[in-house]
Amino acid sequence: MGRTKNEIKNDILNGNTALGIEFGSTRIKAVLVGEDNAPIASGAHDWENRLENNIWTYSLEDVWSGLQDSYAKMAQDVKAQYDVELTTVGAIGFSAMMHGYMAFDKNGELLVPFRTWRNTITEEASEKLTEVFKYHIPQRWSIAHLYQAILNKEEHVADIAFQTTLAGYVHWKLTGEKVLGVGEASGMFPIDIETKGFNRKMIAQFDELTASCNFSWKLADILPKVLVAGEHAGTLTEEGAKLLDQSGKLQAGIPLCPPEGDAGTGMAATNSVAKRTGNVSAGTSVFAMIVLEKELTKVYDAIDLVTTPTGNLVAMVHCNNCTSDLNAWVNLFKEFAESFGVETDMNKLFGTLYNKALEGDDDCGGLLAYNYFSGEHITGFEEGRPLFVRMPDSKFTLANFMRVHLFTSLGALKTGLDILLKQEGVQVDKILGHGGLFKTKGVGQKIMAAAMDAPVSVMETAGEGGAWGIALLASYMIRKADQETLDDYLNEKVFAGQEGASLHPDQKDVDGFEKFMKRYTGGLAIERAAVENLK
């Protein structure tokens, strides 16, 4: 039952709202929610990273002009829909792409241009730190960037007074507080799951590793303070209010929740922050996040460890390739249809071909495909070649052809997930799917359930994204009851009654996927030969 325009207008006037703003890699989006946590207004600003001196970066001017534009458009949306000026909100939260490198001197000036998560320039640092900490440190993590700068003997390192992420930077400038939410912090430096703060033993190891450099700082001095969901993270200052709202109407004094990363806001937006739950985002690339009950027994290159906004450990498997090759084949069929003069509706074409895949043999009839448009670190490829291969006696039908391309879109992901589910015995009760792969009702969902051997749900709201997720975290901070956990708050006050359709794995599909994976793993030598010989 939706709320009336008048009720929403009262929420706005009384500050019964929460505002979430997320800096994604191509859009900055602002979402305002009402008392019931449903979105009531939004605004977005498109932006692009630039490659400067071989570093992927965004300028600070772009950060602020983009933030101001997305806020202004959201405020205009409020005025257009409800005929009121936005002067206050109940709480605000910021989130952004995780990781990367932003280092500041004692005057708060940025020492070198922002290095984003996309930069793969820290291989030496990543390998050395993984070895020292006995904990997987991916190249994109902030600590890998800092250590690489030290290894490169970059002069600016001696002058660092504070290091943070994009979300942490924006929050600091609006509140004066040098803090981060634990999920975002877990992409800077490893978290101690017991204390919910940075791992002290590893901080000491880092200081020992860099002792000969004689910096005036120790690592703990320059890192932000770590907070968990629900804690207050400061209030909007007069200066901050002017920075956010150039019209000058927004009042200072609004409380802010801890700034978070896009992994954490994705978990909040898909209601997958509880232990034994997870979510899979499947589009151009694909990643799975599963909330663990305990630490893994050893370090795996294929698995990154981050945390939920409440500080629970999350295993993340990230793959570069998912639906690009599948989409390319669908476009070929579109061209085929149009050469016969048949007008094609893309939604109908995708729906028809995806559903066709459900008629195929359990194991795709012996067909094999690789969807590697780019490299895939999980299977050890620096670059990729999309491939389709079959035996003379394979069952070459349209159904099997579509099925093998759906299966292979999750092949690298399954390689990583098998480490968790089979070698580590991680338990998963339910998985939430979101992204383009799940658009055709029931198909991507059924194949994901087969790959993971776990029930998969798809929610109507999964498309709302991270800006809504951080608005929910802001809302939780001001609305939670005493002792109410984030899991309970999301279950009861946000997602109650919208479980989404849950699909249990079909044993025949599960067995078929296992057979396909044997062929997939065995055939990687074919992919290797293609990379080496197709130049």
DSSP string for 426-441: ---SEEEEESGGG-ST
Measuring CA to CA, which residue among 223, 235, 224 is closest to residue 174?
Answer: 235
Q: Does residue 181 contact residue 228 with C-beta atoms inside 8 Å? A: yes
| Full 3-state SS string of 354-379 | HHHHCCCCCCHHHCEEECCCCCEHHH
Q: Does residue 163 contact residue 222 with C-beta atoms inside 8 Å? A: yes
* Residue 117 main-chain phi, psi, to 5 deg: -60, -20
Which residues in the chain show pLDDT less than 70? Answer: 1, 460-464, 499
Provide the sign of the torsion angle of the four alpha carbons 117, 119, 121, 123, taken in this order.
positive
Measuring CA to CA, which residue among 292, 322, 271 is closest to residue 447?
Answer: 322
Q: Does residue 304 contact residue 283 with C-beta atoms inside 8 Å? A: no
What is the chain's Cα-based Rg?
A: 24
Measuring CA to CA, which residue among 276, 288, 244, 447 is closest to residue 354?
Answer: 447
Burial of residue 406, with CB atoms counted within 10 A of its CB: 0-12 exposed, 13-18 middle, 19 or more buried: buried
Q: What is the residue type of 515?
A: K
Q: What is the pLDDT of residue 464?
A: 63
The set of residues, in sequence order, having a beta carbon less than 8 Å from that of 451 and lying 6+ positions away, is 407, 410, 413, 414, 417, 513
Task: Name the helix (H) or strand (E) containing 301.
Answer: none
Beta strand pairing status for 456-458 and 501-503?
Answer: antiparallel
* Residue 286 main-chain phi, psi, to 5 deg: -140, 135
Tokens 């003379």 locate to 392
Q: What is the pLDDT of residue 284?
A: 84
Beta strand pairing status for 91-96 and 18-23?
Answer: parallel
Other CB atoms within 10 Å distance of the CB of residue 68:
17
Tokens 């109908």 locate to 348
Distance CA 90, CA 14 (A): 8
Compute CA distances 375 → 97, 300, 400, whole Å: 21, 18, 25
Distance CA 351, CA 501 (A): 18
What one-character DSSP code corresponds to residue 251?
P
**SS3 category, 367:** coil
Q: Where would I find the beta strands (DSSP E) of 118-231?
A: 162-164, 179-181, 191-192, 197-198, 225-227
- Helices and strands in the chain: count of H runs, count of E runs: 19, 22
pLDDT digits (tens, 9 = 90+) for 449-469: 999 999 999 876 655 678 999
* Residue 92 main-chain phi, psi, to 5 deg: -130, 145
Compute CA distances 340 → 123, 166, 327, 345, whole Å: 51, 51, 20, 15
Distance CA 196, CA 183 (A): 10
| Full 3-state SS string of 46-83 | ECCCEEECCEEECCHHHHHHHHHHHHHHHHHHHHHHHC
pLDDT digits (tens, 9 = 90+) for 151-200: 999 999 999 999 999 999 999 999 999 999 999 999 999 999 999 999 99
Distance CA 164, CA 199 (A): 16
Q: What is the pLDDT of residue 175?
A: 98
Q: Does residue 202 contact residue 305 with C-beta atoms inside 8 Å? A: no
| Global confidence as pTM | 0.87
Distance CA 264, CA 470 (A): 8
Q: What is the residue type of 509?
A: D
Q: What is the pLDDT of residue 461?
A: 60
Distance CA 110, CA 102 (A): 7
The set of residues, in sequence order, having a beta carbon less than 8 Å from that of 409 and lying 6+ positions away, is 282, 286, 321, 322, 323, 325, 326, 371, 437
* Residue 79 main-chain phi, psi, to 5 deg: -65, -45
Tokens 């898909």 locate to 270
Measuring CA to CA, which residue among 84, 109, 196, 90 is closest to residue 160?
Answer: 109
Tokens of 429: 């009760």
Tokens of 312: 């629970």
- C-alpha torsion 114→183→162→235, nearest 10: 100
**CATH code linked to domain 99-164+189-222:** 3.30.420.40
> How do the domains of the chain map onto residue ranges?
99-164+189-222
**What secondary structure does DSSP assign to 110-144, as a single string?**
BSSPPBPTT----HHHHHHHHHHHTS---TTSHHH
